[in-house]
Structure 1
Amino acid sequence: MESNKPISSFIEKHYLHFNSATLVDAAKAYKEHIESGKKMMITLAGAMSTAELGISLAEMIRQDKVQIISCTGANLEEDLMNLVAHNHYKRVPHYRDLTPQQEWELLQSGLNRVTDTCIPEEEAFRRLQSHLFDVWKEAQDKGERYFPHEYMYKMLRSGVLEQYYQIDPKNSWMIAAAEKNLPIVVPGWEDSTMGNIFASYCITGELKPSIVKSGVEYMMFLADWYTNNAGTEGVGFFQIGGGIAGDFPICVVPMLHQDLERTGIPFWSYFCQISDSTTSYGSYSGAVPNEKITWGKLNIDTPKFIIESDATIVAPLIFAYVLGW
């Protein structure tokens, strides 16, 4: 085993069949895609930030192994929650055995459970809330409008959160992204804790909904970004989970072709999905990659991989391989 690449060497030796073999194939193809000069999008569904994917994803960002991210509003904010409140999180290894009464007691203690991990409301949500309100209000007073992720970048760059840091900042993918001004697309941002909080300020009249740019504007941005960055061979698509984080951005290619009638726009040039969703009737998350050919998203010869497994196990291994660990 190569001492300087222990993880890569291990998976090449042991991961030879079934989902594990697909993991290796997908990782090798990802590495080849980047080394050939093409760009890659990573999409984050589920609770990957709470699962602390930032430990490996931040390094992927720093080493230019990903050029754009699409994520849910939850993943956008939960990386920052982990950054400022990590010591107050509570693990519940026996979560499968909890009664409704015990779940209620967690709520009464200000703990919101995500599988085996409880996010502390006061230290996580409320700690961010006042500082986010400040950047929202400043934009409103100046007559400015920004995307959801841009407000979070502003908050990070201001340094107001540094007093709260409870993890090594190098393990925050949002800090890495802010430092590179990485493009992020956050479809359905209002379906998140900070989105709900923003809506509450709009209901009370303290803020105006118009200061946060919309999902339609994210699609407009993405259309221009893809057109300018796809070259002749296309951008890669690495999808963690399913849902809107993946479905929204992958649709930009058929939109460019069919609705804008732009010629010379290449299909997505690599596709990999990590999901534990089983292939089923009408499911997007469980659809096999070939179905995307019929929607004008992937080409016949696009490298396609689907790894039916737990993304919290698989994604760090693939990232480690791409990083040469």
Structure 2
Amino acid sequence: MNRGPISTFIEHHYRHFNAAALMDAAKGYEKHLLEGGKMLVSLAGAMSTAELGISLAEMIRQDKIAIISCTGANLEEDVMNLVAHSHYKRVPEYRDLTPEQERDLLDNHYNRVTDTCIPEEEAFRRLQAHLLDVWKAAEAKGERYFPHEFLYQVVLSGVLEPYYEIDPKNSWILAAAEKNIPIIVPGWEDSTTGNIFTSYVIKKQLNVHTVKTGIEYMIYLTEWYRANSGGKGVGFFQIGGGIAGDFPICVVPMMYQDLEWEDVPFWSYFCQISDSTTSYGSYSGAVPNEKITWGKLDVNTPKYIVESDATIVAPLIFAWILGQ
């Protein structure tokens, strides 16, 4: 592969400590794909609001990612950025905000994520109306779908196109929808759109069963893993920690411990980008070797951990994979 300037810079300068871990993880990811492996990427935190889609969407388009696991927030916030980008408010001095200034942001319908405020009216409500339409349409036909499938229906229908405020090639949800890659969204209820759906159920305007559940996501992932883990197998690239990572990685021990299926392959590559402190029972901060004891990784599984900020590290690793 011909290396572009970013990759050339990384290879020349990133020689030690976390920089070397980044380089090793990127080369391991590349080797895994070259040998015919597939990759799951998990997104915790607020990666969509951090506009990771700029690099993630191209990874999806170039078939460098086979499946994604993400929080409900990351699922919706990529689309919110797509349709309301100009209304976002950046607060670089966020560390100095007083409680009164935080309340002022709320009163002006801004929800803050570190240094970036999501505009409630332009982002949440713009998406809400179109989600309600597909929820109601499914219910009227007696159909049920996963949260990501409903979002795919909205973005592929074209109803949001008049609102686009960024180049659509930088939306990872659009790229994923166009490729129709599977997305696992554990704990979708813990998101704005999950809360909105709940409100309609409480108001008896929608049936709770219209949106499929987390247990059904685990069944869906089980079927996908069984169909895709042959040969080199499936790798696991984890951005952050939490449920976005822990839920999907557990499918392997579930299959051979609880279903008692034989010959279930372990995840065949593992990398985590995290700045979580490694101590005191933290899953996000657990070193990869701990996962061996839980039946997720094998002794010889290539394992990497880059202890740094994912908004810095992930685009660099993706740039290497893409040869940029």
Name the TM-score, length of structure 1 as normaliser: 0.99
Residues 102-151 of structure 1: CA distance to partner in whole angstroms, max 9, x if unpaired? Answer: 00000111110000000000000000000000000000000000000000
Aligned equivalent of 1:152: 151
- Partner SS for 2:266: coil
Asked if structure 2 preserves the Cα contact closer than 8 Å seen for 1:232 and 1:265, the reply is no
Asked if structure 2 preserves the Cα contact closer than 8 Å seen for 1:232 and 1:266, the reply is no
Aligned equivalent of 1:102: 101
CA distance in 1: counterparts of 2:238 and 2:24, whole angstroms:
15
The residue type equivalent to 1:210 in the other structure is H
By how many angstroms is 1:4 displaced? 5.4
Asked if structure 2 preserves the Cα contact closer than 8 Å seen for 1:233 and 1:266, the reply is no
Aligned equivalent of 1:41: 40
Aligned equivalent of 1:241: 240
CA distance in 1: counterparts of 2:297 and 2:44, whole angstroms:
20
Aligned equivalent of 1:19: 18
CA distance in 2: counterparts of 1:295 and 1:234, whole angstroms:
19
Aligned equivalent of 1:299: 298
By how many angstroms is 1:43 displaced? 0.0
- Partner SS for 1:129: helix
Aligned equivalent of 2:136: 137
By how many angstroms is 1:263 displaced? 1.4
Aligned equivalent of 1:196: 195
CA distance in 2: counterparts of 1:249 and 1:281, whole angstroms:
23
- The runs of at least 4 aligned residues of structure 1 exceeding 2 Å deviation read none
CA distance in 1: counterparts of 2:264 and 2:9, whole angstroms:
39
Asked if structure 2 preserves the Cα contact closer than 8 Å seen for 1:268 and 1:302, the reply is yes
- Partner SS for 2:304: strand
Aligned equivalent of 2:80: 81
Aligned equivalent of 1:57: 56
Aligned equivalent of 2:315: 316
1:187 corresponds to 2:186: yes
CA distance in 1: counterparts of 2:305 and 2:25, whole angstroms:
8
The residue type equivalent to 2:198 in the other structure is A
Asked if structure 1 preserves the Cα contact closer than 8 Å seen for 2:80 and 2:127, the reply is yes
The residue type equivalent to 1:99 in the other structure is T
By how many angstroms is 1:233 displaced? 3.5
The residue type equivalent to 2:158 in the other structure is G
Asked if structure 1 preserves the Cα contact closer than 8 Å seen for 2:110 and 2:117, the reply is yes
Closer/same/farther in 2, CA of residues 4 and 23 from structure 1, 3 Å limit:
closer
Residues 196-229 of structure 1: CA distance to partner in whole angstroms, max 9, x if unpaired? Answer: 0000000000001100000000000100100110
Unaligned runs of 5+ in 1: none
Alignment of structure 1 residues 193-272 onto 2, 5 Å: 193-272=192-271
Asked if structure 1 preserves the Cα contact closer than 8 Å seen for 2:36 and 2:231, the reply is no
- Partner SS for 1:306: strand
Alignment of structure 1 residues 275-290 onto 2, 5 Å: 275-290=274-289
CA distance in 1: counterparts of 2:22 and 2:71, whole angstroms:
24
Asked if structure 2 preserves the Cα contact closer than 8 Å seen for 1:140 and 1:208, the reply is yes
By how many angstroms is 1:71 displaced? 0.1
CA distance in 1: counterparts of 2:191 and 2:214, whole angstroms:
14
By how many angstroms is 1:35 displaced? 1.0
Residues 241-294 of structure 1: CA distance to partner in whole angstroms, max 9, x if unpaired? Answer: 000000000000001111111112110000000000010111100101000000
By how many angstroms is 1:183 displaced? 0.4
By how many angstroms is 1:234 displaced? 2.3
Aligned equivalent of 1:178: 177
By how many angstroms is 1:232 displaced? 3.9
The residue type equivalent to 1:130 in the other structure is A
Asked if structure 1 preserves the Cα contact closer than 8 Å seen for 2:37 and 2:231, the reply is no
CA distance in 1: counterparts of 2:4 and 2:319, whole angstroms:
9
- Partner SS for 2:291: helix
Aligned sequence identity (%): 74
> How many residues in Structure 1 have an aligned counterpart in Structure 2?
324
- RMSD (CA atoms): 1.0
Deviates more, 1:117-126 or 1:261-270: 261-270
Asked if structure 2 preserves the Cα contact closer than 8 Å seen for 1:71 and 1:245, the reply is yes
By how many angstroms is 1:3 displaced? 9.1
- Partner SS for 1:289: coil
